[in-house]
Amino acid sequence: GAVVSQHPSWVICKSGTSVKIECRSLDFQATTMFWYRQFPKQSLMLMATSNEGSKATYEQGVEKDKFLINHASLTLSTLTVTSAHPEDSSFYICSAREVDRLYGYTFGSGTRLTVV
């Protein structure tokens, strides 16, 4: 089945630094990938939709200059949290959809970001 690899699985960084999270579709091509954020005991909140070869579409309230998304190939999307602050600490999850797979948005394993 479709596999989405997300790296790193956890990261600790200092305030003010930037962190890059990678999301790869391993055995299929994904023209569209999604980035979610999840706080403890809360649901997944869509941050942005990443389209291969074009600019990402951000949800209302998500700062595009802070959360930089690059989808340079059909198998890779990256999320860079710039100038991270403690309030950016969260669980970030990507997902990707295989073409013609109506239900199957495969999720990555998530990245636990802690900003100290």
Partner 1 sequence: QKEVEQDPGPLSVPEGAIVSLNCTYSNSAFQYFMWYRQYSRKGPELLMYTYSSGNKEDGRFTAQVDKSSKYISLFIRDSQPSDSATYLCAMRGTGNQFYFGTGTSLTVIP
Q: Which residues bind partner 1 (CB under 8 A)?
A: 4, 6, 32, 34, 41-44, 46, 49, 91, 93, 95, 97, 102-110, 112
**Apex 98 CA angle, 95 and 101, nearest 5:** 110
Assigned token pair, 3? 């596999």
Assigned token pair, 71? 């989808």
Alpha-carbon radius of gyration of the chain: 13
Comparison of 82 and 105: residue with beta carbon closer to partner 1:
105
- Min dist. Cβ of residue 34 to partner 1 (A): 8
Residues written for the chain:
116
Comparison of 16 and 27: residue with beta carbon closer to partner 1:
27
Q: 84 has which bridge partners? A: none
Comparison of 75 and 111: residue with beta carbon closer to partner 1:
111
